[in-house]
Amino acid sequence: MRHVLSVTSECVPLIKTGGLADVAGALPGALSGHGWHMRTLLPAYPGLIKKAEARTVAYTFKALMGGPARVLAGTTGGIDVLLLDAPHLFDRPGGPYGNPTDFSDNPVRFAALSFAAAQIAEHGLTDGWRPQVVHAHDWQAGLTPTYLKIAGVHDVATVMTVHNIAFQGLAPAAMLGTMDLPLSEYTAEGLEYWGQISTLKAGLVDAGAITTVSPTYAAELMRSDFGMGLEGVMAARSDRLSGILNGIDMEVWDPAQDPLITPYSAASLKGKSANRKALIAEFGLSAVNGPLAIIVSRLTAQKGMDLVAATAAQFVEAGGALAILGSGDPQIEDQMRLLARNHPGKVGLRIGYDEALSHRMFGGGDVVLVPSRFEPCGLTQLYGLRYGTVPVVAATGGLADSVIHANVMARSSGVATGFQFHPVDEMALAHCLRDVIAQFSHKSGWTRMQKRGMKQALGWEASSAAYAALYENLTDECRRAT
Ligand code: ADP
Ligand code: GLC
């Protein structure tokens, strides 16, 4: 077995705010089949040490960015986790990033995570385990390749995965010292970004390879309308950039085995009708003749939720209904409340985060709506495919890569799995939803489309093979260079 250290701020089943946690939680299992043993380093937020029964001290720091710290090894849900126990940074109430807004010392907290990762990669753990590859996720782990470079460590390969370019790990230049970074790194070719530090840019510049979570997003990242200022860096490193589409956990998300719903499969969708009926009752909707659309999402502008607010009236007047689960931007939450109030019995809303309810929604919905302005990969359209809940998505990023649009050609040749709309605006969404309502009334064609999606290979097989191949290429390269 070869060794890879994954560095992340979230990981299912320990802590999750978004899809990053799902991906970090799925990779170790998926990679073990390819001969890679992954250990996952993440902060010891409150309660995690107990949850993972992490008792073995695997590394000790006398001081790590302002306080004592150690790494505790444990196992949870089959994942070998390494928890960075640094109470001065991570033992505080609230979410992983703040309570309710971001903690002001986040740059230091996650610099510490990255620094710890680099130390482990350089020296190995007390049990002798040392990675050949470090795989850093998002800005929180972005400094890992940079710390390795500064330490002069060249025999460990590094991969930087971008799950979302909108979060860049910005910090005032005055924090360089506290983050243990020399002034020499603070250049336009280095981690300087418009007069600030960007920990994500650091990773993009210094990692041996950059990946993102879909091929389309990889191409989009080199464009000014998606790169959010980092398109130049992306383009400059295009020979090192690739897109590997995320998979989903095919066991957790399996309508035939899901204990939270009435089970069903592509062979018989009967159970789905029962789930639909239950969902309509749960959301207080009146009889729904047209498609029942669901949304399970962060309620933010990225996710196009304002477009939903703008087009929902037409959709429900034409016979559709909407069940929404999400939380996020207070303004968008209010917009959604107003929408539900204005369309009683047609639009149902739950503000909050509820994993079990999300399963019931995929079990009972006809359509899952994902109108994101940008979407690196997106997972809910994949759950939709798996559950016969036809995805209606914006044609961007991973959404474009995972749904085959039901235009006339795709329908007649029997390959369509959902609907895409473009550009991502109200008019295109409204037009698409009219098409959805029309297609929904052609029952046999609709059922065939549902079943086609349900039979797709949506797991981690192809993607984990791609990551393994990347790790192998990079370690070969390291070996040749050292
Ligand atoms: P992002 O990470 O950008 O939020 P993804 O689609 O990659 O988007 O992942 C979101 C994950 O979080 C999915 O697993 C989705 O089901 C879940 N999720 C989002 N909002 C909620 C919610 N309110 N309740 C339950 N699960 C949610
Ligand atoms: C980010 C992206 C989302 C992606 C997830 C996992 O949260 O916004 O599109 O699916 O990371 O890679």
Q: Whose CA is nearest to atom 26 of ligand 1?
A: 355
Which residues on neighbouring strands pair with residue 83, listed in sequence order?
42, 72
Rounded CA gap, 9 and 167, in Å? 13
The answer to whether residue 258 sits within a structural domain is no
Return d(Cα 392, Cα 370) in angstroms, integer.
6
101 domain-assigned: yes
Residues 37, 242, 153: CA angle, nearest 5 degrees? 55
Largest CA distance in the chain: 68
Cα(182)–Cα(171) distance, rounded to whole angstroms?
Answer: 15
Residue 256 lies inside a defined structural domain of this protein: no
76 Cα: distance to centroid of ligand 2 (angstroms): 23
Asked if residue 242 and residue 345 are part of one domain, the reply reads no
- The ligand 1 atom at the shortest distance from the C-alpha of residue 370 is 6
Number of Cβ within 10 Å of residue 441's Cβ equals 12
**Ligand 1 pocket member 384 (CB < 6 A):** no
Query: For residue 246, which ligand has an atom nearest its CA?
Result: 2
Measuring CA to CA, how many Å separate 424 from each of 181, 308, 370?
40, 11, 11
Name the residue at shortest CA distance from atom 16 of ligand 1: 380
For ligand 2, whether the C-beta of 10 sits within 6 Å is: no
Domain shared by 122 and 209, yes or no: yes
Q: What are the phi and psi torsion angles at 327 (to 5°)?
A: -155, 165
Residue whose entry in the numeric block shows the structure tokens 């470079």? 149
Give the position, in ligand 2's atom list, of the atom nearest the Cα of 20. Answer: 6
Q: What is the DSSP track for 283-325?
A: TT-----S-EEEEEEEESTTTTHHHHHHHHHHHHHTT-EEEEE
Residues 94 and 229 in one domain: yes
3-state secondary structure of 115: helix
Q: Provide the residue-wise pLDDT of the chain in tens; the chain has 482 residues.
A: 999 999 999 999 999 999 999 999 999 999 999 999 999 999 999 999 999 999 999 999 999 999 999 999 999 999 999 999 999 999 999 999 998 889 999 999 999 999 999 999 999 999 999 999 999 999 999 999 999 999 999 999 999 999 999 999 999 999 999 999 999 999 999 999 999 999 999 999 999 999 999 999 999 999 999 999 999 999 999 999 999 999 999 999 999 999 999 999 999 999 999 999 999 999 999 989 999 999 999 999 999 999 999 999 999 999 999 999 999 999 999 999 999 999 999 999 999 999 999 999 999 999 999 999 999 999 999 999 999 999 999 999 999 999 999 999 999 899 999 999 999 999 999 999 999 999 999 999 999 999 999 999 999 999 999 999 999 999 999 999 88
**421 shares a domain with 384:** yes
Same domain, 302 and 219: no
Share of the chain above pLDDT 90, in %: 99
Instruction: Provide the number of structural domains found in the chain.
Output: 2
Residue 289 lies in a domain: yes
Pocket lining: 54 vs ligand 2, CB cutoff 6 Å: no
Q: For the chain, how far is it from start to end, CA to CA, in angstroms?
A: 21
- Residue 448: count of CB within 10 angstroms of its CB: 14
Q: What is the pLDDT of residue 29?
A: 96
Q: What is the domain extent for residue 426?
A: 270-454
406 and 362 belong to one structural domain: yes
Is residue 94 domain-shared with residue 142, that is, in the same domain?
A: yes
Residue 252 lies in a domain: no
Report if residue 262 sits inside a domain: no
- Asked if 373 and 302 touch (Cβ cutoff 8 Å), the reply is yes
Domain match, 414 and 470 both: no
Q: Is residue 70 left, alpha or beta, with left meaning phi > 0 and alpha meaning psi from -120 to 50?
A: beta
Residue with tokens 């649009």: 405
User: Is 27 among the domain residues?
Assistant: yes
**Based on the domain organization, do 280 and 199 belong to the same domain?**
no
Q: Are residues 300 and 413 in the same domain?
A: yes
Give 97-113 pLDDT, tens digit per residue.
Answer: 998 889 999 999 999 99
Rg (CA), the chain: 23
Burial of residue 471, with CB atoms counted within 10 A of its CB: 0-12 exposed, 13-18 middle, 19 or more buried? buried
Distance in Å, CA 24 to ligand 2 centroid: 11
CATH number at residue 117: 3.40.50.2000
Bond prior to 96 in cis (omega within 30° of 0) = no
Task: Say what the pLDDT of residue 468 is.
Answer: 98
- Residue at 263 is within a domain: no
Task: Give the distance (Å) from ligand 2 centre to CA of residue 445.
Answer: 31
CB 17 near ligand 1, within 6 Å: no
**Ligand 2 centre distance from Cα of residue 163 (Å):** 5
Residues 425 and 465 in one domain: no
Q: Torsion-angle region of residue 78: left (phi > 0), alpha (psi -120 to 50) or beta? A: left
Whether residue 68 is found in the same domain as residue 206: yes
Calculate how far, in angstroms, residue 458's C-alpha sits from the geometric centre of ligand 2. Answer: 16
Q: Is the CB of 185 under 6 A from ligand 2?
A: no
Whole-number Å distance, alpha carbon 337 to ligand 1 midpoint, is 19
